[in-house]
Amino acid sequence: SQTIHQWPATLVQPVGSPLSLECTVEGTSNPNLYWYRQAAGRGLQLLFYSVGIGQISSEVPQNLSASRPQDRQFILSSKKLLLSDSGFYLCAWGQGTRTGELFFGEGSRLTVL
Amino acid sequence: ILNVEQSPQSLHVQEGDSTNFTCSFPSSNFYALHWYRWETAKSPEALFVMTLNGDEKKKGRISATLNTKEGYSYLYIKGSQPEDSATYLCAPRTTDKLIFGTGTRLQVFP
């Protein structure tokens, strides 16, 4: 069966520090991978998605970047965090089909102080 | 940018009440419409995926309908129970991505 894990679960970082959130998927190959963010009081905003190794699509201009160094690994990064980067980050995977549902990781709560 | 709107933003109902929410989305470049339930302290989980105009799906007391021509979907919960309390998210799919609405937060009081 397929599983998805992301870490760390909770992170408190000072403004200007770097960020790395990792997500890995097991039990499937060539998944579509996604990073979403829920800011306070808002819905899920799509940040990045990837349909293959090294292929990253960015949805909104921001202080973050994503990389996919391996087929089932998706990393969200920042060189210098801003206060506005605080939020709940969710990684998800899905098959590249119209009806393929997304399966979400456990989430990472980032607080930037 | 795909604009997905859900209403109401929040809903408080008594146990046993039936309720429904609305999701509206642009009808162009439409591939499928997903509904997810997001319970507190858990990850979102898929409820339904619908693709065809007039589609109707049902899972227990929860059902959903889809109108792709006018760009809306309804989610119905019959006889709400406290365990139905969650945020319900809709997400139209275009090509490789799902764009989520802001959700409807449902609270069912015993």
Residue A41's SS3 state is coil
Does B2 contact chain A (CB < 8 Å)?
no
- The answer to whether A49 contacts B100, with C-beta atoms less than 8 Å apart, is no
Average pLDDT over residues A6-22: 96
Give the distance from CA A56 to its chain's centroid.
12
**Is B74 within 8 Å of B64 (Cβ atoms)?**
yes
Least confident range of A30-34, A37-41, A85-89, B103-107: A37-41
Q: Give B-chain residues touching A90 at CB under 8 angstroms.
A: 43-44
Cα–Cα nearest to B91, from A36, A53, A33, A8? A36
Rounded mean pLDDT of chain A? 92
The end-to-end CA distance of chain A, in Å, is 39
> Residue A98: its pLDDT value, please?
75
Least confident range of A21-25, A92-96, B81-85: A92-96
Q: Would you say the C-alpha torsion A40, A46, A113, A10 has a positive or negative sign?
A: positive
- Chain B stretch 50-109, residues whose beta carbon is closer than 8 A to a beta carbon of chain A: 51, 89, 91, 93, 96-103
From the list A42, A49, A101, which residue is nearest B46 (CB)?
A: A101
Q: Would you say the C-alpha torsion A54, A99, B74, B37 has a positive or negative sign?
A: negative
pLDDT at B13 over 80: yes
pLDDT at B73 over 80: yes
Average pLDDT over residues B28-56: 91
Least confident range of A2-6, B25-29, B48-52, B85-89: B25-29
The burial class, CB within 10 Å (0-12 / 13-18 / 19+), for B1 is exposed
pLDDT interval class at A100 (50, 70, 90): confident
Q: Quick count: other Cβ atoms within 10 Å of Cβ B6?
A: 23
Average pLDDT over residues A10-18: 97
Phi first, then psi, for residue A39 (nearest 5°) are -80, 165
Structure-block tokens of residue A86:
């605080």
What secondary structure, in 3-state letters, does chain B show?
A: CCCCEEECCEEEEECCCCEEEEEECCCCCCCEEEEEEECCCCCCEEEEEECCCCCEEEECCEEEEEECCCCEEEEEECCCCHHHCEEEEEEEEECCEECCCCCEEEEEEC
pLDDT at B98 over 70: yes
Angstrom distances, CA of residue A58 to CA of A36, A44, A101, B49, B53 = 11, 15, 20, 25, 30
Q: Quick count: other Cβ atoms within 10 Å of Cβ B95?
A: 11
Question: pLDDT of A28-62, one tens digit each?
Answer: 999 999 999 997 667 899 999 999 999 999 988 68
Average pLDDT over residues A7-29: 96
pLDDT interval class at A107 (50, 70, 90): very high
Q: Give B-chain residues touching A99 at CB under 8 angstroms.
A: 32, 49, 51
From the list B31, B34, B89, which residue is nearest A101 (CB)?
A: B34
> Residue B30: its pLDDT value, please?
80
- The answer to whether A101 contacts B103, with C-beta atoms less than 8 Å apart, is no
The end-to-end CA distance of chain B, in Å, is 40
Pairing of strands B72-77, B86-94: unpaired
From the list A32, A105, A106, which residue is nearest B96 (CB)?
A: A32
pLDDT at A88 over 80: yes
> Residue B23: its pLDDT value, please?
96
Q: Would you say the C-alpha torsion A79, A38, A4, B30 has a positive or negative sign?
A: negative
From the list A34, A57, A104, which residue is nearest B43 (CB)?
A: A104
Name residue A37's beta-bridge partners. A45, A89
Structure-block tokens of residue A12:
């408190």
pLDDT at B2 over 70: no
pLDDT at A103 over 90: yes
> Residue B1: its pLDDT value, please?
56
